[in-house]
Amino acid sequence: LKLVIFLNITLFFLISFFIKRKQLHPFENIFLLLILEFIFTGYIGVIHINLKVWEISEREDLYILFRINEVILTPLLYLWCLNIIGSKRKILEKVKVSLVYISLIYSLEFLLVKWKVIIYKEWSIWQSLLVISTLMLVSYILLVFFRKLLRKESLRI
């Protein structure tokens, strides 16, 4: 049942994401999605395989659920957030949006912890919050550099 619920959430999210008008240029969206996938799977690889501070459920359905979250849902949530941040002019507004999305992304992780998809071992909430914030910041900085390149090529962004 958990997998079905999660699949439905992912599908509804995917539909909303694709029908929503994006604030960023398609090049920026592709760039961010690829960067997020690369960094996020690397992060999971380090904490789950190398450091073993996260244990992933052995149950097949929960394992699939974890992978869907890792490869589709979470990176798209970051991307959604960065789209909104990219459209805001004031720094305070950017910070507000970031805080909302950091709590949203963490809530999703918390749900997986509650469902025993992820089992924390020597890991705590603040570390997750720190990683989410850092990943958001790093992606945003990379976006700024990429945007400069697009402007140089006279792309309408």
Partner 1 sequence: MMPFPEVFDQNEWFVLIVLFLSLVIVYLLPKRMPLSITVLIMIYSFTVARLSDHLLSSPKIDLYNIMDTEKYEFFDLILYLLYAPFGYFFVYIYEKIRVRGYWTVVYILLWSSFGSLFEWVSVYFNIFTYKEWELKYSFTVYVFTQTLTLLLFNYLRKQHQCNTENADINKQVYKK
Report the interface residues with partner 1, using CB under 8 A: 25-27, 30-31, 34-35, 37-38, 41-42, 44-46, 48-51, 56, 58, 63, 67, 71, 146, 149-150, 152-156
Q: How far is the CB of 139 from partner 1 (least distance, A)?
A: 12
Distances (CA, A) of 142 to 39, 40, 54, 105, 112: 12, 15, 28, 20, 29
Between 60 and 91, CB nearer to partner 1: 60
Q: Please, are residues 53 and 145 in contact by the beta-carbon 8 Å criterion?
A: no
Between 41 and 133, CB nearer to partner 1: 41
Q: How far is the CB of 64 from partner 1 (least distance, A)?
A: 10
Which tokens go with 60? 């097949």
Instruction: List, in sequence order, the alpha helices (H) in 90-153.
Output: 91-114, 125-152
Q: How far is the CB of 4 from partner 1 (least distance, A)?
A: 21
